[in-house]
């Protein structure tokens, strides 16, 4: 399963959700790869615990070899790194992604990630793609390469506007490039049950028949601690409420439970206004 975690809005929890779901997948014995397409490299640092500038053979190098002549080109697997966690692997980001972008775009390399991930599908049962907070060459490559898209949502009014735009973008990607791309659902993050507005906002999304998932991820300082220690929640605080919500989310997305309250992705209505 190839899953992209995307929202063009910044700071909604893309990297935190990608990394923690992938860590749970790996902990469950599933060989799991995370591809970090965000030049900020938050996911790379979180899972590898290594400064970005020290890392060689990154996803930028994979893209680079598609635009430069190379007698001995490497295979996608050569850009995959082991993490300290069993079954969990990362294709790391790099600051070089920034200056490569124009070149890749002008030479129509938008399907190269899809080709690379197709080659890696035999090695990895689960592939998660973290994206930058923008609809750019890299996030579009990811939406073209993935089978499902999970949308983090941070429960404020600006996020709601971003969500309508995003659902329109996904429809366009489906029409033009990836007809079977499925909206897996909108995952509410940093939810505060005692605040009135976020609750009201989520109720309105449900009333509009948007594909809101039935698990709301709590806001917790554990998330920052987990980033600081470069240890996903399942390895740092397995019984914490937020970790358990991630475990439930992982099970829900991977159909481990009865299917009660599953994503309403098949019923997604696209509203672009
Ligand atoms: N459930 C949570 N509880 C508390 N803090 C959280 C939670 N989820 C994310 N955060 C914090 O919010 C910030 C943004 O999270 P994250 O980096 O995952 O978002 P992002 O969408 O990947 O951001 P960007 O768009 O910059 O890539 C981080 O400081 C992270 O620690
Ligand atoms: Mg991020």
| 7-56 residue pLDDT tens | 999 999 999 999 999 999 999 999 999 999 999 999 999 999 999 999 99
> 196-207 and 157-176 helices cross at what angle (nearest 10)?
30
Would 273 be classed as within a structural domain?
no
CATH code, 28:
3.40.50.300
| 222-254 residue pLDDT tens | 999 999 999 999 999 999 999 999 999 999 999
Distance CA 267, CA 103 (A): 38
Would 128 be classed as within a structural domain?
yes
Distance CA 117, CA 137 (A): 16
Residue 70 CA to ligand 2 centre (angstroms): 31
Would 156 be classed as within a structural domain?
yes
Return residues with CB closer than 5 A to ligand 2 (ion): 14-15, 42
Neighbour-count burial of 212, counting CB atoms closer than 10 A to its CB (0-12 exposed, 13-18 middle, 19+ buried): buried
What confidence score (pLDDT) does residue 69 get?
A: 79
Sheet holding 212-218, edge to edge: 81-82, 88-91, 32-36, 126-130, 2-5, 148-153, 182-191, 212-218
Would 16 be classed as within a structural domain?
yes
The residue segments making up the domain with residue 71 are 2-267
> Global pTM?
0.94
What confidence score (pLDDT) does residue 241 get?
A: 98
Residue 137 CA to ligand 2 centre (angstroms): 16
Would 204 be classed as within a structural domain?
yes
Would 106 be classed as within a structural domain?
yes
| 179-220 residue pLDDT tens | 999 999 999 999 999 999 999 999 999 999 999 999 999 999
Quick check: CB of 240 below 6 Å from ligand 1? no
Number of structural domains found in the chain: 1
Would 48 be classed as within a structural domain?
yes
Would 272 be classed as within a structural domain?
no
């Amino acid at each position: 399963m190839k899953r992209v975690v995307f929202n063009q809005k910044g700071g909604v929890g893309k990297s935190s959700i990608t990394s923690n779901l992938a860590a749970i997948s790996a902990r469950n014995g599933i060989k799991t790869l995370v591809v970090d397409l965000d030049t900020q490299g938050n996911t790379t640092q979180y899972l590898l615990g290594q400064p970005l500038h020290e890392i060689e053979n990154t996803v930028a190098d994979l893209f680079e070899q598609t635009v430069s002549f190379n007698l001995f080109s490497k295979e996608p697997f050569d850009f995959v790194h082991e993490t300290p966690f069993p079954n969990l692997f990362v294709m790391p980001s790099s600051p070089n992604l920034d200056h490569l972008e124009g070149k890749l775009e002008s030479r129509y390399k938008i399907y190269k990630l899809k080709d690379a991930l197709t080659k890696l599908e035999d090695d990895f049962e689960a592939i998660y793609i973290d994206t930058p907070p923008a609809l750019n060459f890299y996030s579009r490559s990811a939406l073209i390469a993935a089978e499902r898209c999970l949308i983090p949502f941070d429960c404020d009014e600006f996020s709601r506007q971003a969500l309508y735009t995003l659902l329109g973008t996904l429809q366009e990607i489906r029409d033009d490039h990836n007809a079977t791309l499925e909206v897996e659902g909108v995952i509410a993050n940093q939810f505060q049950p005692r605040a009135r507005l976020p609750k009201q906002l989520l109720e309105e999304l449900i009333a509009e028949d948007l594909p809101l998932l039935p698990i709301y991820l709590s806001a917790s300082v554990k998330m920052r601690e987990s980033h600081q220690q470069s240890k996903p929640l399942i390895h740092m605080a397995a019984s914490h409420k937020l970790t358990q919500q991630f475990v439930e989310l992982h099970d829900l997305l991977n159909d481990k439970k009865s299917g009660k309250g599953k994503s309403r992705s098949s019923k997604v209505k696209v509203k672009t206004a």
